Amino acid sequence: MIRVDSTKTAADLMNSEEFRECIANGHVSIGFRTFGFWGSENVMICVSRRWFPDAWDFSISSSSGGRDTGEVLSDVEAYLNMSFTLRSAALMLAELQKNEDEFNQIYQQRWG
């Protein structure tokens, strides 16, 4: 699991050794935390290599974990934070999807 915040870009992530190692192994999970909600991964991106047909699955999921009013008192502010996190994760996922060919090359270097 790679944990990121909403300011991390897909390019930053893809340049990290940790990300490239996960792609070489065929699976990466990227967790986003949202200020004002319980939990450490309120939004999750998964990129996984399928065996048949040879392709990559790209998915996004969310779970609020419940509101943490001790962290952010205002529901409005907390849900604006959540919307920003969801938007950031969706934009990152869209960028990652554009790199499927590169992911195949990284994966094939490892597994031939």
pLDDT digit string (tens) for the chain, length 112 residues: 999 988 899 999 999 999 999 999 999 999 999 999 998 899 999 999 998 888 999 999 999 879 999 999 999 999 999 999 999 999 999 999 999 999 999 999 998 8
Locate the domains of the chain by residue range. 2-102
Closest CA to 61 of 97, 25, 31, 96: 31
Residues 57 and 72: their CA atoms lie apart, in Å, by: 34
For residue 43, give Cα distances in angstroms to 68, 72, 81, 85, 86: 16, 18, 12, 7, 7
Other beta carbons within 10 angstroms of residue 101's beta carbon come to 9
pTM value? 0.92
